[in-house]
Amino acid sequence: MDRDLFRTVKQGTRNQARLLYHRLVCRLPHLLAVTLLLVVAPPLVSTLSLAALWSEARANAAVLVAACAGCAAAAYAYATSRPRPVYLVDLAGYKPGPAHEATRAQAIRQFGLAGGFDDDSMSFQKRMMERSGLGEATHFPASLMSIPVDMCLQTARDESEAVVFGVVDKLLAKTGVRAEDIGIVIANSSLYSPTPSFVSLIVNRYRLRHDVVSHNLSGMGCSAGIIAIDLAKHLLQVSMHRATHACTAWPSTVAYMSTGKGISETCTNWLS
């Protein structure tokens, strides 16, 4: 067997064994309780009648009460130690107006006029557009549909604010959640990370409460969306306010277009 393959299989086996051990340790109290019940209960039931059991219980009432209190305390401690369930209330996406809509042919013609690409670069970008899943009613930011392409910071800020505020407005309207009920705000953006941050813009625009927990993620690419959801889940499970809500926003700013003439430079126009 190849050495790298053997190392991969060994590591995978070790990870699975570690996972099984973790699950066994987590469920060990349940297994011990069931085992003890199966071992102790049958002999007691077979050797003692109900009247004898009742008399034994009355004779040892204090011990029985202490045992019941101990079981209740253990059950309460186990219930409170369990992680809180977290649910997705709703989600929303931003859809620009008809002025931002363009077909594939219109988009590739616009890029050809704005970028000054050579024939090879245009042919490559056309193939990438046809295979990327973009439809005939794709919406593009106004910065990419202007001649020349407007790639300034103000344009990126305007685009980001339109997306973030539009999504949050739509989400609050769909769910009926009040702004003061939001206790956690998480935003992530890869290409454009302004100061003040996106979470600061959201907190100030919607006048969220003073103790809101805010996190701004940047530079992580598309993986930041999953990281933001996982972070929101863990923050909700440890939050002091049990009836709170978390809001995550994923503004994807594309106010950037590489105008290079090589394939290695133009391919970045389709990776976002």
> In this structure, what DSSP letter does residue 261 have?
S
Give the pLDDT of residue 185.
Answer: 92
Give the pLDDT of residue 37.
Answer: 66
73 with 120, same domain? no
| Domain membership of residue 59 as a residue range | 3-81
The Cα 181–Cα 95 span in angstroms is 26
34 with 167, same domain? no
Residue-wise pLDDT for 170-199, tens only, equals: 999 998 888 888 989 998 887 777 888 888
**Contact criterion met (CB below 8 Å) for 187 and 248:** yes
210 with 133, same domain? yes
148 with 232, same domain? yes
Q: Output phi, psi for 196, to 5 deg.
A: -65, 160
pTM equals: 0.65
129 in a structural domain = yes
How would DSSP label each residue in 161-181?
HHHHHHHHHHHHHHH---GGG
Question: Looking at the predicted structure, is the pLDDT value of residue 77 above 80?
Answer: no
**Boundary (domain end) residue, out of 35, 53, 81:** 81
- Could you give the number of structural domains in the chain? 2
CA angle 98, 103, 118 (to 5 degrees): 130
Q: Please state whether the peptide bond connecting residue 141 to the residue before it is cis, i.e. omega within 30 degrees of 0.
A: no
147 with 229, same domain? yes
Question: Looking at the predicted structure, is the pLDDT value of residue 44 above 60?
Answer: no
Give the pLDDT of residue 39.
Answer: 64
Q: Torsion angle of alpha carbons 159, 160, 165, 170, nearest 10°?
A: 80
The Cα 237–Cα 242 span in angstroms is 8
Residue-wise pLDDT for 116-168, tens only, equals: 677 777 778 778 777 777 777 777 777 777 777 777 778 888 888 888 898 89
For the stretch 17-25, contacts whose Cβ atoms lie closer than 8 Å and that sit 24 or more positions apart, written own/partner, are none
- pLDDT average, residue stretch 73-80: 74
